[in-house]
Structures are given as C-alpha cells and as structure tokens.
Structure 1
Amino acid sequence: MRILLISRCPPYPLYLGDRLIIYHLARHLSQRGHWIDLLALDDGAAGMEAIAHSRRYADFFHDIQIFPDPRRSFLQLARRALLPSERFPRSADSAWSPDLWNAARRAASQPYDLVHVFGGISVYEIAGALAHLPRLITPYESFSLLLRREREVSDDRLIAQIRLTFARRYESFMFAPYERVVVVSEADAAELRALNPDYRVDVIPNGVDLAYFYPTSAPRIPGRLLFVGNFSYPPNVDAALWMARDVLPLIRAAHPDATLRLVGSDPPPEVTALASSYIQVTGRVEDVRPEYAAADVFLCGLRVGAGIKNKVLEALAMGCAVVATPISADGIAITPDHHALIAPPDPAAFAAAALRVLADPNLRKRLSANGHQLIKMQYSWDHTAQQYEALYRQIV
C-alpha cells in the first residue's frame, strides 16, 4: 500500500512515549514493503534532537516534511468548541497549521491508498484537506478519560471540570470524518463510544521492541523499587509524589532496606526535592534497560491517566516483577497475581502488595516469567503492525 502518515509529532526521540508507535509502526510497515510518506508537526518538546535524530527513521519513509506546531489560543479553542461551523476548516487560512494543511492538500492529489493520522486536537482538522482519501485516526487515548480521572484527585475541581467539559465537547465531534478511530485500551474506547455512538472505534495496543527489552542475567539489587516516567507528563509526577510520600514510608517501616529510584526526563522541583539517602532521582538516562534489570520490583502507582503504559510493558518484557494500580494496567491483559500484582491506589494496600513481592523470591520469579511471556505472546510491535495492516485492508 501507499500510505500517507500525518502525525502530531516526529517519530523520535523514543524516550517521549508518543513517538514510540509512530517509529515502530513505520519501521515494521516499511519492512513489509509498504510505501510511507510522513507529514508531522514538531512542538519543540525534544529540542534539536528531533532534527538531529531524523536519520534514525529516514529509511522508513520515502518523503518527510516536518512543520512547527503553532500554539493555539484559548479563544481559538473556544470558538471551535462552541461554533459548529468552525470545527472543520475549509482552507489553510483557518487551519491551526496552514503549512501542514497545504502539504496535506498537495498530498491528497497523489495516489495514496490510505491516510493514517496520529494525534488529537492538533491534527484532527486535517481531514478536510484529504479530499476523498480513505482515512483513520489514532488519538492514542481519550483525553476526556484522562481529565475525568484527574478531576477525582484534583485540588481545584472547578477548573478540572471546565477542562473536562471542553475535552468532551471536542472528542464528541473531532473524529467524525474518519472511517475508524483507533485507541490503545478498551477504557479509552468506551469513553469515546459514550461521547459519540457513531464512532467506529477499534483497540490496538502498543507493543514492545522485544529485541531491545528482554530479561538479562544481571543481579537485581535487593529492596530496590523502581518507577520510570517522563515527568513532563503530570500523572507521572503525581504518581512519584504519592509513592514517595505516602507509600514508601509504609514499605520501609516493614522493610528498612527498601529504596525507591525515580527515573525519567524533566523531573520538576517537587520531584527532585524528594531525593534522600533512600530515594534517588536520576533524571533521564541514556539506556533505561539497566534500571529495569537491577530493580527488585517495578512500582507503577498511577492514580490518573489514560491509554496504555509503555513503562509497564517494558518492565514486564524485561522480567521485572510489577506492582501496579488498575489505571497503570489499562490496555494490558494482566491476570492479577499471575502476571503482576494489581493494588488499588490506597497507600496501605499498595504498600502491602509491594511488601508481599519483596518478601517472596518465589513470587518474584513467577511474576517475572509470566509477565515476560505475556508480552512476548501479545505485545510485540510486529503483532501491532499485523493488526493495523488488517484494519487498513478493511478500510481500503
């Protein structure tokens, strides 16, 4: 097939989780003989790395065009939310990104079999530039689901409710021009179907690069607890603070040698301030695999979030015993007590689950083996690419 891929971000660097599926799906599809061209926005989140590392994905695409992602004002967002006539621009002049719109309009005259759009509010409008080309969109997750969960733990429920109302308004119409909407978990799919029953929503989870993430023979450090996350994402900050302040003291009361290692880019001051003799805040590391390999237990105490958690997929792939909240396990076919321990976001219950794993080497070994096998069987990027190929054939 000849495929036009339009994305809210470039496919690299991979420590930014929204790049993973674009990179790996394009890699696998190109290996399968598909012709792929890329139009992408760049919001500057990766700085110059997005350009410096473009060579890492250049071979996947026949043509690559990347444009700056313009900021959208509150007034612009409000007008589209409230005025149906402005929701889907008819020309570049009224688009969020005139450059991307014009590029998509020119591309629409080419003999593409399919257009695959990745993203939500920044790119949904591009449907109006695609003429009659078959198209699907992957918004990753439901932003409404994320904000609904965020409202439950917010200190300012009024602001949280206003943000949720806007998100629901947008997600009730954004995806109407697309033949299919693809999200990574059933929870996200249910949220979108409730907002617009006419949406045709499919679930295709992310995968893991099994040639990169796999169990090693490196010794694990007794008592080491690990959390990995991009800390520019607020739910990861909330999880780190909650685990360090509310959960870890309960664990250390019963297991004084326990330490918590917080690994990931852009830790804000409130996270770096957690550093102590038993909490390490590393910032971004070049290779996260030694972190997974050395940890006794991977803790994922997300209380807010949507979509699938790449960090949990990676930890399981590397044979690290996992203790996670239900939100952390969204989109992953985990059988509790078999592949991982699932505990509610209650400090005592979460700490008890972590202590159970720390105290039982046989349990750690069993969770390690079963978790790795789950990922190997169901969550490879090759399997993800196969599912997308099947969906493409249905649409075309």
Structure 2
Amino acid sequence: MSDILFLAHRVPYPPDRGDKVRSHHVMRHLSTRGRVHLAAFADDPRDLGHDDALKQWCASAVVVPRTKGNARAAVEALASGRPVSLTAFDHSAMRAAVARLLAERRYDAIYVYSGQMAQYLPADTRFVMDFVDLDSAKFAAYAEDARGPMRWMMRREARLLEAFERVVAARAEATLFVSAAEAALFGGQAQAVENGIDTGFFDPAAVAPVAEAGPLIVFTGQMDYRPNIDAVRWFVNEVLPKVPGRFAIVGRSPAAAVRALAGERVIVTGEVADVRGWIAAADVVVAPLLLARGVQNKVLEAMAMARPVVASIVAAEGIDHDGSIRVAADAVDFVGEISRLLNDPATASALGQAARARTIARYGWDARLAPLAGLLGL
C-alpha cells in the first residue's frame, strides 16, 4: 500500500469551516488510496484532542498548536523580508515534525494543502501543491480598499506572496486551485480541482429547522474572517432596511464589528451546534460577499439544503449553478431578488429544489476529487 504525506495548514477535523471542509474530504479521499501520514496545525484549542477521529483516515497524525499571533508574525516578516502569511505559519515544532516524517520513510506521494505548508519541504522534494485560492490576489484586492500604512502592507504581502507562489509552483509536480477561474488567473500549468458537497449530510430531510419567526434571511460563515465581516456589514447597511424579515448571521467567532450589528432585526448566533438547522429555517440564504476567491462552500451548502440563494457576482463566480441560484450585482439587485423570493414562496421552493438537484448532479466529492489519484501517481 502507498504511503502519502499530507501537510495541511489547519487540522482537517472537524470540518467546521470552509478551508477545513475541503482538506477533510481530501484526507478522506487520500485514505482510500494509501496510508495517510498527516502533519497539520491547530490554531484553535477545539481542534486538538481528535486523535481517535483522525485514526479513521490517517496511519499517523501530528497536530502542532499554532500560537504565534498576527502582531508577532508581522514584526518577524518585516525583519526577514518574507510574507506575513508564511511567517505566521513558521513554527520550529512543525519543521521538526516534517523532517522526522521525511526521515522515517519514503513517500509515494506528498500532498501540500495551502501555500503556507510548502515552506516545510526541502527544495528537491516533489509534491502536489493545492493552493486552494490565489492568496496573493486576495491581498492585492485588500490593498485596493486599504489606506495609509495598511495599504502598503497589503501590497507588500501580495507582491512577496506571488513571488513565493511562483517558486512553489515551479517545484511542484502539479499546481491546483479550487476553481477554473483561480487556475486561469494564476496561469501556467495550474489546474482546477473543485470543491464538492456532502449531499447526504446537507439534506433538508436530515434535520429540523430552528424555531425562528420568519421571514428569515440567513448568512453562514466564519465570522472573524474579513470578507465575511465586510459582507454582513454591507448587507445590514445597504440591503436589510429595504427588505422585510430578520437577518441571521450564523457562524463562530463573530468579531466585535459583527456583534455590534445585533438588534431587533439582526441575529448574531456565534457558534452553533449544527448550522443545517439555520439553513433549513431560511426563507432565503444570502452570500453578499464583496471579495471572494474560489468556490464558496456556504453557497454549496445552502444549495444542497434546497434553499433559495441570492449571491453576489464574486460569490457565485466559481460555482457551476446553471441558473439554480440568483446572482445580484449590487444592493438594488439584492433587494429585488430577495423581495421577489419572499413574495413568491412557490418560486422560491422550486429554485431551492433545482439547486439541490444541481449539487447532487455536479458536486459530489468523489467525482470532484477523482483526478487526484492520477496527479499523485497512485
């Protein structure tokens, strides 16, 4: 049986945020092809202590707590001339763990998940690089909205990170992104391996809706992540005053700016035991992202739950939805699409059913990850 080294910037269990959903299913898929040896970071104490669960898919697993804060990482990055993104994930314990794993055996394949982990492999090592999203482009977009020193910092990050991404891609046997749009933006020999969705888990028949009076508009996501913060703040200010109902912001670690939105018409849940109950209760699910890269799991999850979705152009860009979601270009479009769906439950229901059918036909994880075996030579 093959031995596969899997490096991930966050431990791929539990699959409770977008990047961990993809890495979790990659881990599961790789485990059908060989013995997986995992090395990953935990940047949340709740991501520790899952050794028994990981044994379902991994022959061995090393999980290193990541304790370096953003301020320290920024200081180190400025002193060393490196991107902050890499410095934040530069850890002596991980370096030692990867060195030990490489010394213990010869691997038939190495899969690197997220660019931060490529720094741990020797220069002569061959591997498959899954960047997921093009992070340098994300920071370039941040720079456009920033001012003063922060704008300089974001531009620096974009420039240094792009140089690093190019060096890594030149070393890799294959360079992967989550969507064709991301792969095309990077260019060269980059390929798309898209996200999937577990339609058995995200099934409206599998869970009861939460008991909330409607109409209910729902957004889900990691709520200390800047694009999600910007999205809900924009929605509350620009869209919510012009549509009926309440807006539920569902997701863990809400930032202070998100908590401040809570009020008579805005629910901020924080972490919930099961996000499916909130999605099931939604009259409309929205994804009003102003900045998005790759495929938005939050949109696929709502589609699989047969809910009508209204998404911004960038949130919908990576998804082959075939018209089964509504796409809004601006606040006026969001108001119009949401209002029409709330006023016409039959159309909303039909749209949700079409969305679920689309996810079943197009986005099963096994089908999406099938190319990995060939790319890894397994």
TM tier, shorter chain?
0.7 to 0.9
Q: CA deviation at 1:11?
A: 1.3
Instruction: Give the TM-score of the pair, scaled to structure 2.
Output: 0.88
Aligned to 1:300: 287
Deviations 1:180-209 (A, max 9, x none): 11110122212322xxx4xx3111111212
Q: CA deviation at 1:68?
A: 3.6
Kindly indicate whether residue 173 of structure 2 is the aligned counterpart of residue 184 of structure 1: no
Aligned length: 364
Q: In structure 2, what is the Cα distance between the partners aligned to 1:278 and 1:329?
A: 26
Aligned to 2:20: 19
Q: Is the 8 A contact 1:302 1:325 kept in 2?
A: yes
Q: CA deviation at 1:314?
A: 0.5
**Structure 2 counterpart of 1:201, one-letter code:** A
Aligned to 2:375: 391
Q: CA deviation at 1:139?
A: 1.8
Aligned to 1:124, what secondary structure does the other structure show?
A: helix
Aligned to 1:312, what secondary structure does the other structure show?
A: helix
Q: In structure 2, what is the Cα distance between the partners aligned to 1:54 and 1:242?
A: 40
Sort the Cα spacing of 1:359 and 1:151 in 2 relative to 1 into closer, same or farther, 3 A. farther
Q: Is the 8 A contact 2:17 2:221 kept in 1?
A: no
Sort the Cα spacing of 1:347 and 1:66 in 2 relative to 1 into closer, same or farther, 3 A. same
Deviations 1:93-125 (A, max 9, x none): xx933433333334334232100011113x122
Any residues of structure 2 matched to 1:1-396 within 5 Å, and which? 1-30=2-31, 32-42=32-42, 44=43, 46-47=44-45, 49-69=46-66, 71=68, 73-74=73-74, 76-78=76-78, 96-109=90-103, 110-121=105-116, 123-128=117-122, 131-132=124-125, 134-154=126-146, 157-193=151-187, 197=188, 200-216=189-205, 222-251=214-243, 255=244, 258-335=245-322, 338-344=323-329, 346-393=330-377
**Structure 1 counterpart of 2:39, one-letter code:** L
Q: Is the 8 A contact 1:115 1:135 kept in 2?
A: yes
Aligned to 2:171, what secondary structure does the other structure show?
A: coil
Q: Is the 8 A contact 2:51 2:61 kept in 1?
A: no
Q: In structure 2, what is the Cα distance between the partners aligned to 1:35 and 1:173?
A: 29
Q: In structure 1, what is the Cα distance between the partners aligned to 2:67 and 2:280?
A: 40
Q: In structure 1, what is the Cα distance between the partners aligned to 2:82 and 2:257?
A: 37
Deviations 1:66-114 (A, max 9, x none): 224464744653576579xxxx9xxxxxx93343333333433423210
**Structure 2 counterpart of 1:19, one-letter code:** K
Q: Is the 8 A contact 2:54 2:61 kept in 1?
A: no
Q: In structure 2, what is the Cα distance between the partners aligned to 1:82 and 1:266?
A: 28
Aligned to 1:91: none
Aligned to 2:122, what secondary structure does the other structure show?
A: helix
Q: In structure 2, what is the Cα distance between the partners aligned to 1:41 and 1:276?
A: 36
Sort the Cα spacing of 1:74 and 1:292 in 2 relative to 1 into closer, same or farther, 3 A. closer
Q: In structure 2, what is the Cα distance between the partners aligned to 1:168 and 1:29?
A: 28
Q: In structure 1, what is the Cα distance between the partners aligned to 2:374 and 2:159?
A: 35
Aligned to 1:245, what secondary structure does the other structure show?
A: helix
Aligned to 1:368, what secondary structure does the other structure show?
A: helix
Sort the Cα spacing of 1:149 and 1:353 in 2 relative to 1 into closer, same or farther, 3 A. farther
- Root-mean-square deviation (CA), in Å? 2.6
Sequence identity of aligned pairs in percent?
Answer: 27
Instruction: Give the TM-score of the pair, scaled to structure 1.
Output: 0.84
Structure 1's unaligned 5+ residue stretches are: 89-94
Deviations 1:104-152 (A, max 9, x none): 334334232100011113x1222316x54x4111121011222233344
When structure 1 is superposed on structure 2, of 306-315 and 103-112 the one drifting more is: 103-112
Q: In structure 1, what is the Cα distance between the partners aligned to 2:346 and 2:194?
A: 30
**Structure 2 counterpart of 1:186, one-letter code:** A
Q: In structure 2, what is the Cα distance between the partners aligned to 1:33 and 1:124?
A: 22
Q: Is the 8 A contact 2:7 2:112 kept in 1?
A: yes
Q: In structure 1, what is the Cα distance between the partners aligned to 2:82 and 2:236?
A: 42
Structure 2's unaligned 5+ residue stretches are: none
Q: CA deviation at 1:218?
A: 5.4
Sort the Cα spacing of 1:269 and 1:103 in 2 relative to 1 into closer, same or farther, 3 A. closer
Aligned to 1:372, what secondary structure does the other structure show?
A: helix
**Structure 1 counterpart of 2:36, one-letter code:** I
Q: CA deviation at 1:390?
A: 3.1
Q: Is the 8 A contact 1:140 1:182 kept in 2?
A: yes
Sort the Cα spacing of 1:171 and 1:25 in 2 relative to 1 into closer, same or farther, 3 A. closer
Q: In structure 1, what is the Cα distance between the partners aligned to 2:147 and 2:242?
A: 24
Q: CA deviation at 1:388?
A: 1.7
Q: In structure 2, what is the Cα distance between the partners aligned to 1:34 and 1:390?
A: 13
